[in-house]
Every structure is written in C-alpha cells, then in structure tokens.
Structure 1
Amino acid sequence: MKVPLLSQIMARPLWCGGGAFLLLGIIAACLTNPTPADYQRHTATEINTFLLTQVCPEIIHRNRGLAMVALEVCDQLESRPAQDIERYIAYNTQAYNLGVATLFVTELPIQTIWSLGLFGRIIPLTL
C-alpha cells in the first residue's frame, strides 16, 4: 500500500524545513555582505549630502566673512565626486567580517561611526 505524498511530508520533523530555511538565510547573508568599497561609497555620499544640506547653508547664513569661502568649498563638494571623502573613509575604517554580516568601524575626529553591513544594506548602529 502506498502512503500518500502529503502524509510523507507531514511525517518529517518540522525542524527539517525550518533548518533548511535558516541555512538558506545564512548563505544569502554571507553572499550579500557589502564590501568595504560599497561602504566607502555609501558613507561618502551620506557625508557629502550632510555637508551640502546642513553645514554649508549654516556657515553661509551665520558668518558673512566666511560666506565667500564657504560658497567656493560647497560648490566644489557639489561638482566633484566624493572620491576624496571615500579615500579618507577608507583610511580610517576597519572592516570585520562576521560571516553573515560585516561590521564597519570608522574613526572620525568628532566621533566613531559603527555600521553593520547585512543583506546588501548598510545599517548605522547607535551605541
């Protein structure tokens, strides 16, 4: 007598399906970890955007004496790619591969930035 397919599937332990799903998730996480170059590009873009939207307008409106210099520097930030910022970040960042994720630690003069690279995304950590 043949056992129906549904009863064969139901007879398997539940952890078998969950274990396979977990294993696939771990493999996917390992394969999609952001690289240090991905992190540098992402962080340089964020810093550049912050400088252009927050710092530059504040300096220009607050201090008339520095306004011309600030305008020139901000124009350069806007027109050039953020390669200088990327190099600075590369020099000051340590990457720790944790298998399923990558921990990036960037030492800046103002503060230390901790970020976690997971499934192709970079997530800032607030510690």
Structure 2
Amino acid sequence: MKREHAAFAARLRAALKHADIEPRPVVLEKLLARHGVVVTAQAISGWLGGRYMPKPAALRALAGLVGLEPYQLQYGARSVREEPAGWSVRPSAADRLAIEEFLALPQAHRALVRELIAALARSGAPRKTR
C-alpha cells in the first residue's frame, strides 16, 4: 500500500510541475476550493508525501487541474486521448481555470466575453506567431 501511495505522490508532483502548478499544500488547497472541494493543507501534504490517497471527489478535481483523467493520476495508466486540434500552446492552470469559469457563466455573459475577446483581437495588438 505504501508503494502505491508513493507512486501516486510522484505522479501528482510530476503532473503539477507539467501543469505549472506549484506543488505546495496551500496553493492546492485554494485551487481545490475553487472547484468546490474542501480539503486541509495537512491532507494535501499527505498526498504529496505519499502517506495518503485523496478521496474520489478530490482526485477528480486534482485530475482536472492537471489535465489528466482521474485514473491516469491514480494508477499511471495511459489511454488513447485526442489532443485538441489546433492548440499548439498548452494552456496554463490559470488559463484552464479561466475557461472553466467562462463555461460556468450564463449564456448572455459568455456572449459578452466572446465579444470582448474578439474586439481585443481586432484592436491591432501584435499576435504571437506559433
């Protein structure tokens, strides 16, 4: 059991690093709270240290933060997963959070945000070349 917990902790730390999320309990506590998962910094420290496994709701939220399926984070298994076409830049954790918050908005507010983004894109700001 301890070996499984240690392997999970290593996968979690690697996934957080890949997602540009600082692997600190206080940081994760705040990010998880934004997803409606209330957990203590002590519990998160236990996950990162390989002492405990998160409950299913926390595992789902963690997986969402790092862009993995929950079973990938828990077991390390890979599945066939299609990457979004046309995205040459991997969104950061902050970008993913902003997208999730955008998707939670009412349709009228989402339309306003899309208009704002389109206006900013047309404003003549130099575009990044990919």
TM-score above 0.5, yes or no: no
TM superposition score category, shorter chain reference:
under 0.3
Between 1 and 2, higher relative CO (CA 8 Å, sep ≥ 6) is seen in: 1
Select the structure of larger CA radius of gyration.
Answer: 1
Q: TM-score, normalised by structure 1?
A: 0.26
